[in-house]
Structure 1
Amino acid sequence: MSEERKYWVPALEKADKVLAVLASEPASLKLIDLSRRLEINKSSMFSLLNTMEALQWVKRGTGDTYSLGHAFAAYGSSYVKHYDLNQSFHEEAASARDRLQETVQLAKLEGNQVRYLGKVEAISPVRLQSEPGMLLPAHATALGKAMLAQLSEEELLKLYPEAELAKLTPLTIDNREALFRQLRMIREQGYAEDDQESVMGFRCAAAAIHGGEGHTAAVSCSMLLHQWEVKAGEARAEMIALARRLSAQRS
């Protein structure tokens, strides 16, 4: 058995074949047609289609023919938005990085966590540990706070039902009340900061990207403390300007 197929899931392979056929021939094939075309027995095809219909991967229409379901419209929309934003970020963030000579990052909000999506790195002997795909608590990062500040109090309470918050460093905000006070200030000033709250020795400025699916993305610039003392104002201005440029492209 090849390494590629060592952990293969046959049911997913069958589902993929069904979806490929339905994408090319929507609303023209019934269960029996799919069974014959793909050489999958009727019982297995029934179970497969029944599950896929419940997941909204497929839909059964007039005459019991099948087409792709609503889930794929949502998946496709999400993919396009993510791809376009990531591409735009890399194009737009390069100039901000060059002016600041610091690394610029892109992230989205997932519940009460931040998922890093993109990174435009500056040449530096010190490299940020955050990488695309990595998750960090939103309350401990400037990126997270920039996005949380755009949410309603009701939405925030759902994300933070407990009064106490986990600390990543001794300086991380550790209670909901203090976080919510800071978020109100961030909402007014248009940018967020973290003061060694996720990593000791680093400070960060971030601004939320508007448009698309609400306020679910943001950009940030992190730097060592001695650089922050010199570049803090410039970093705030660059992140606000970068977020505005990306927001304009999403609207």
Structure 2
Amino acid sequence: MSTPATSRARGVERIIDIFRQLHAARRPMTMRELIVATGAPRSSIYELVAIFSEAGWLETSGDGSVFFGREMHYFGADYAAHNDLISRAHQSILSLVRKHDETAQLCTLEGNKYTVMLSESSSRPFNISSDIGVKVPIPWTATGRLLLGHLNVNEIRALIPDEDFVLENGTRIAFDDFLRDVQYADAQGYCCTEGLSHTFRLCMAAPIRDRSGVAVAALCFMTSRDTDPKKRELMLDDLIKSAKALSEPYSRL
């Protein structure tokens, strides 16, 4: 029989799982979908949704579907306002978008995946961007190559699942090729990739480094592969300058 402590721990795990499933779906989910996705008992999901709906952390629509509530927005806003790096990076990103009219982002690693923390889109009708918080395989990104520069070969091999070296189009990136990209990006202090996670996408990334010199995040431009070469040079130059400015002492993510 479960002890009270074990039951409480299981309840917390189910709460976390509900939030993660909603974030992964990026849309309201029905109770049935949540039950299937979490694998939790029906009674537990209904009870937890009721509790967090009352607290404002979740909201239930007229058709019974569930999504994040208003209180979650407040918590996120508080975090963004008081995290030094995010606060300063937001201003840098806005400046880059205003100057170049291209989508700019703050990107980092979360576990063994890449994710976007901040994103501002260009004003053009068609722009290329990645959704905030969505986890993407590291080998699919320019940022991923930058943020592994402090790791050795064995650490990189152990970090990245083998399946993550296969792109969406089915092409496999050879580990040795990826390793050379990581080493080259670390040496030159920036990374540019074309056509990896999206056929027409050009990604530029410049590292934001902590006090020890380790790249912990990156500023990125997401644009089209047909962007004029002269504009590319200007964008990359400004990206590197902005990332260096953000590499001043800051509170860790």
**Structure 1 residues 80 and 201, CA gap change in structure 2 (3 angstroms):** closer
Q: Residues of 1 paired with 2:152 and 2:81: CA distance?
A: 23
Tell me the equivalent position of 2:179. Answer: 180
Are 1:7 and 2:6 an aligned pair? no
**Structure 1 residues 129 and 205, CA gap change in structure 2 (3 angstroms):** closer
The AA in structure 2 aligned to 1:209 is I
Aligned-pair distance for 1:249?
Answer: 4.2
Q: Residues of 1 paired with 2:124 and 2:80: CA distance?
A: 32
Residues 92-128 of structure 1: CA deviation (Å, up to 9, x unaligned): 2222222222110011112331111001222011133
* Contact 2:80–2:87 under 8 Å retained in 1: no
* Contact 2:146–2:215 under 8 Å retained in 1: no
Aligned-pair distance for 1:6?
Answer: 6.1
Q: Residues of 1 paired with 2:168 and 2:234: CA distance?
A: 27
The AA in structure 2 aligned to 1:227 is T
* Contact 2:138–2:160 under 8 Å retained in 1: no
The AA in structure 1 aligned to 2:153 is E
Q: Note the 1:79-118 alignment, pairs <5 A.
A: 83-118=83-118
Tell me the equivalent position of 1:204. Answer: 203
The DSSP-based 3-state class of the residue aligned with 1:250 is coil
Q: Residues of 2 paired with 1:95 and 1:150: CA distance?
A: 29
Q: Residues of 1 paired with 2:162 and 2:116: CA distance?
A: 25
* Contact 2:128–2:201 under 8 Å retained in 1: no
- Runs of 4+ aligned structure 1 residues displaced above 6 Å come to none
Root-mean-square deviation over aligned CA pairs: 3.0
* Contact 2:194–2:225 under 8 Å retained in 1: no
Aligned-pair distance for 1:217?
Answer: 1.1
* Contact 2:211–2:249 under 8 Å retained in 1: no
* Contact 1:204–1:220 under 8 Å retained in 2: yes
Q: Residues of 2 paired with 1:80 and 1:202: CA distance?
A: 28
How many residues are paired up? 180
- Which of the pair has more CA radius of gyration? 1
Q: Residues of 1 paired with 2:114 and 2:124: CA distance?
A: 24
What TM-score results when the alignment is normalised by the length of structure 2? 0.62
* Contact 1:169–1:196 under 8 Å retained in 2: no
Uncovered stretches (5+) of structure 1, i.e. residues with no partner: 14-78
Q: Percent identity?
A: 24
* Contact 2:81–2:87 under 8 Å retained in 1: no
Aligned-pair distance for 1:229?
Answer: 3.2
Q: Note the 1:21-32 alignment, pairs <5 A.
A: none
Residues 116-174 of structure 1: CA deviation (Å, up to 9, x unaligned): 1001222011133412111111111112222123433342122136498111246x661
The DSSP-based 3-state class of the residue aligned with 2:125 is coil
* Contact 2:101–2:122 under 8 Å retained in 1: yes
* Contact 1:81–1:212 under 8 Å retained in 2: no
Residues 214-249 of structure 1: CA deviation (Å, up to 9, x unaligned): 532111001112225342212221221111111114
Q: Residues of 2 paired with 1:204 and 1:127: CA distance?
A: 13
Q: Note the 1:208-247 alignment, pairs <5 A.
A: 208-211=207-210, 214-247=214-247
